[in-house]
Amino acid sequence: MLTQVSGPAVGSSEAGLSRPEGRAVNKSSLRRKTIRATRWSLVSQWVRQILTLLVTALLARILVPEDYGLIGMALVVTNLANLFRDLGTSSAVIQREEVSETLLSTLLWTNLAVGCSLAGLVALVAVPAAYYFRDPRLTWILWALAPSFILAGGSTVQQALLQRDLRFARLARVEILSCAFGASVACAAALSGLSLWSLVAQTLSYNAVSAVLLWRLNGWRPRAQFSFLELKSVWNYSLNLTGFSTVNYLIRNADSLLIGRMLGSQSLGFYSMASKIILYPLQTISGMVGRTLFPALARAQNDEATFRRGYFGAVGFIAMVTFPLMAGLMAIAKPAVTTFLSPKWSPVVPLLLILCPLGLIQSVLTTSGVIFQAKGRTDLMFRIGACSSAATVVAFVVGLHWGLLGLCGAYLLIELLNTPFTLCFAFRQLSLPVRAIFAPIKGPLICSAIMALLVHWSLTPVVGFCGPRAGAGLLILEGAVLYLASNWVLNRDQARELRNLLVGRL
């Protein structure tokens, strides 16, 4: 345990630090804070997506595809650098039951130094990257984006403290205001004729406003202190988490690299579109819930009953939302693709039929990482992730012999094998068997299956009578009604909990 130093006491709201170890967790208060945090995360997510959609629609009319292509090249470099932005120290701050002033100051100065180093590294690789992509403009873009790492490095501790104390209302204000300001700057710059530099200005202005607001809305301020002992105390946790993030990033891109190399750009385009559709609920629902679940479970890491209840409640919420989306998409894949994308994307349909079950599995499996992080076992998380990633790459290589469908089938098969393997080690931290995962997902799974079967059964007559466009809309409405009705009959308790969460009743 870390020793406190003079200054605001650990547990004071001014310092943004949490309760001392040994004080009992207030379960009802923690539950209220978690539910409130989840609602604010939903609000932030929805508002930012609406703003992003509006800005994208406007900029797409002004900019040319080449501008987005150049920014995409720059993102190859910056996204890789982002993996090492805080070296996992933010999660270490959230996970610890107790943090000292010296530790926080040490981590802030460390993150600031890392941010400066990454900015310098990005600036150094700008010229080689421009040479590789054969466009000298990329050099200037990367030089312009480099300072964003300094801004992020100087505010990661402030953001971690807000997450640690479940102050997601303040985080939502930061994210929404930053997104709105960045969007305004991008639109103004594009209308002024700055073309691709409007996208660069959007990124820089977002990071600058976010850093200012995080400092303003968090009461903690760093001191002129640095301790190698304090840094060493979180080093194992942080480096293992960074290692897992790196492995996860590589595996997320391995399929695209292999498809692009072996099957060509057209096949990669079909696969990328299918993956984007499947990953959307993972990023919006599972990611959002995991973001609020981690600090909540970290506060209850020594209260086994509260930890289990909180985790399985979150898994149930994710299943209630993502399972019907995946099952419904499988049921109406063909009219949905031809209506919302266009008939030229028809090869995406069989890919979706294989990847939808994969998305269903991954929406739940991604929450296992929260257990490892909250319990301080990022070392085990890294080792399991490395083993699973190696097996997945082998599956990709083997599956490619049968084309895109072969790769997707191999991906689904290896994930079916990886899931019990990962959950076995995760649930061992909770002293539970793997079969415990079925308790929160059984109801949503049954209701989603009923809905999907009935919708698929009515697919041909509805589309034949109304046409593909109107038929797809009617089938979506039918699926929503059927899913709500089946939950009210077969899964009423979970349905009521989801309703209470969304309308704000505790």
> pLDDT, tens digit, for every residue of 244-261?
888 888 777 788 778 877
The pLDDT tens digits for 199-244 are 899 999 999 999 999 999 888 888 888 888 888 888 888 888 888 8
Indicate whether 101 and 147 sit together in one domain.
yes
H/E stretch holding 27 reads: helix 27-62
Sign of the four-CA dihedral 492, 497, 501, 505: positive
pLDDT of residue 92 exceeding 60, the answer is: yes
Give the domain extent around 431.
Answer: 244-503
Residue 19 counted as domain residue: no
Report the pLDDT value the prediction gives residue 321, as an integer from 0 to 100.
87
The pLDDT tens digits for 445-457 are 999 999 999 998 9
Which of 90-94, 355-359, 410-414 is predicted with the least confidence, judged by mean pLDDT? 90-94
Residues 114/182, Cβ–Cβ less than 8 Å: no
- The number of folded domains in the chain is 2
Residue 213 counted as domain residue: yes
Cα separations in angstroms, 35 against 242, 478, 488: 28, 30, 22
Report the pLDDT value the prediction gives residue 337, as an integer from 0 to 100.
85
Indicate whether 37 and 124 sit together in one domain.
yes
Buried b / exposed e over 162-189, threshold 16 CB at 10 Å, is bbbbbbbbbbbebbbebbbbbbebbbeb
Indicate whether 173 and 305 sit together in one domain.
no
pLDDT of residue 178 exceeding 90, the answer is: yes
Counting residues of the chain whose pLDDT is more than 70, the rounded percentage is 91
Task: State how far the Cα of 33 lies from the Cα of 28, in Å rounded to an integer.
Answer: 9
Burial of residue 406 (CB within 10 Å: 0-12, 13-18, 19+) is middle
pLDDT of residue 23 exceeding 70, the answer is: no
Indicate whether 110 and 80 sit together in one domain.
yes
Task: State how far the Cα of 400 lies from the Cα of 321, in Å rounded to an integer.
Answer: 32
Indicate whether 287 and 222 sit together in one domain.
no
Look up the pTM and report it: 0.78
Residue 16 counted as domain residue: no
Indicate whether 186 and 335 sit together in one domain.
no
Indicate whether 249 and 222 sit together in one domain.
no
Residue 6 counted as domain residue: no
pLDDT of residue 266 exceeding 50, the answer is: yes
Q: How confident is the model at residue 20 (pLDDT cuts 50, 70, 90)?
A: very low
Indicate whether 330 and 398 sit together in one domain.
yes
Residue 129 counted as domain residue: yes
Indicate whether 188 and 126 sit together in one domain.
yes
The pLDDT tens digits for 37-77 are 777 887 888 888 788 878 877 887 787 767 777 787 788 78
Indicate whether 248 and 393 sit together in one domain.
yes
Indicate whether 121 and 252 sit together in one domain.
no
